[in-house]
């Protein structure tokens, strides 16, 4: 087994050095994503968070779709776990093309790795192009309001913005897949915010948790909460004309419908999961 792993690693390095790999127009490098990025995330997914997925049959095998999920956890670890879930547990091993905030792509290393993973800037132009290509696109409409909310507001969805994701789905005629993620809220319980320092650093927030900054780098180790990720039944958009994407009332109503579905599934999934932590903690 070790010999096979070494042989695969050497073959991977040879291909990288020879430039024998493909990168698409967005910078997505499927081999690097699978062999390096996802390989680093899999122990967290399988053994630390013990992620359980539900409703994968609602995600199409080939055609385009827009996965809309709640966002939480102080650091966007939920985006990474969603990426592993769809690539490893979906029968078609689908990569998800997540739409990220500008801040992600202003950071040299993080921005580069995000592009390698297949992600891109959260803008209508990129979303439309990916969806029309038949890609699986993911979006977190709560943005920093969701991922940075205090622990006291856990599992309460924040506002979903102006519904740009709905307009993109309508223009492409693809289904919207509501996704509920339970478990991320407990990994870094945010009990405070160092706002003056956050403003100085140009960050949306700088969290205080029971362990950070008190334990230094050790405070960045996420707590091993039990996770569940559920993909709900698709919300169809192909019954609308593409021009209706410019109808603000339609977009608002559909956005609100998706938000209500996710909130309902979050409540049910949280009850189904039970305790966040194993008995030994």
Cβ partners under 8 Å of residue 155, min gap 6:
70, 72, 182, 185, 266, 267, 270
In this predicted structure, what is the pLDDT of residue 19?
Answer: 78
Each residue of 117-158: pLDDT tens digit? 999 988 889 999 999 999 999 999 999 899 999 999 999 999
**CATH value of 6-187+222-273 in 1.20.5, 3.40.50, 3.40.1130, 1.20.1280:** 3.40.1130
- Chain segment 188-240, per-residue pLDDT in tens: 999 999 989 989 988 888 999 999 999 999 999 999 999 999 999 999 999 99
pLDDT at position 201 is: 85
204-242 in b/e form (b: 16+ CB < 10 A) is: ebbbbbebbeeeeeeeeebbbbbbbbbbbebbebeebee
Strand partners, 231: 179
pLDDT surpassing 90 at residue 3:
no
Q: Is the pLDDT of residue 9 over 60?
A: yes
What's the pTM? 0.92
Tell me the sheet residues that pair with 111. none
- Whether residue 272 is predicted with pLDDT greater than 80 in this model: the reply is yes
- Predicted local confidence at residue 1, as pLDDT: 38
Q: What's the pLDDT at 280?
A: 55
Q: What is the pLDDT of residues 74-99, one digit of tens each?
A: 999 999 999 999 999 999 999 999 99
Whether 279 has a pLDDT exceeding 80, the answer reads: no
The residues, any chain, with a CB within 8 Å of residue 121's CB and separated by 6 or more, are 99, 100, 102, 105
If you search the block for the tokens 């087994």, which residue do you land on? Answer: 1
Q: Which sequence spans correspond to the domains of the chain? A: 6-187+222-273
Are residues 138 and 97 in contact, defined by beta-carbon separation less than 8 angstroms? yes
pLDDT tops 70 at residue 274: yes
Tally Cβ neighbours within 10 Å of residue 281: 9
pLDDT tens for 45-80 read 999 999 999 999 999 999 999 999 999 999 999 999
Give the pLDDT confidence of 151-184 residue by residue, as tens digits: 999 999 999 988 889 999 999 999 999 999 999 9
Q: Is the pLDDT of residue 281 over 60?
A: no
For residue 101, pLDDT over 90 is answered with: no
Q: Is the pLDDT of residue 265 over 60?
A: yes
pLDDT value at residue 202: 86
Report which of 158, 157, 97, 86 is spatially closest to residue 123, judged by C-alpha positions: 97
């Amino acid at each position: 087994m070790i010999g096979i792993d070494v042989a695969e690693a050497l073959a991977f390095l040879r291909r990288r050095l020879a430039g024998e790999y493909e990168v698409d127009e967005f910078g997505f490098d499927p081999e690097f994503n699978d062999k390096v990025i996802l390989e680093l995330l899999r122990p967290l997914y399988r053994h630390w968070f013990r992620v359980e997925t539900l409703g994968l049959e609602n995600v199409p095998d080939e055609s385009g779709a827009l996965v809309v999920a709640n966002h939480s956890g102080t650091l966007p670890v939920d985006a990474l776990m969603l990426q592993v879930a769809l690539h490893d547990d979906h029968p078609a091993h689908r990569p998800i093309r997540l739409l990220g905030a500008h801040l992600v792509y202003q950071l040299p290393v993080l921005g580069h790795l995000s592009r390698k993973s297949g992600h891109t800037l959260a803008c209508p132009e990129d979303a439309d192009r990916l969806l029309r290509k038949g890609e699986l696109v993911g979006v977190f409409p709560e943005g920093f309001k969701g991922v940075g909310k205090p622990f006291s507001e856990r599992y309460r969805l924040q506002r979903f913005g102006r519904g740009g994701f709905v307009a993109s789905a309508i223009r492409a005629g693809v289904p919207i897949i509501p996704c509920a993620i339970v478990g991320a809220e407990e990994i870094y319980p945010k009990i405070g915010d160092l706002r003056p320092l956050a403003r100085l650093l140009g960050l949306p927030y700088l969290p205080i948790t029971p362990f950070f900054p008190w334990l230094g780098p050790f405070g960045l180790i996420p707590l091993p909460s039990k996770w569940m990720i559920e993909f709900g039944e698709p919300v169809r958009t192909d019954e609308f004309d593409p021009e209706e994407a410019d109808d603000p009332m339609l977009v608002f109503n559909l956005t609100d419908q998706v938000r209500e579905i996710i909130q309902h599934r979050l409540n049910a999934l949280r009850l189904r999961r039970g305790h966040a932590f194993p008995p030994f903690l």
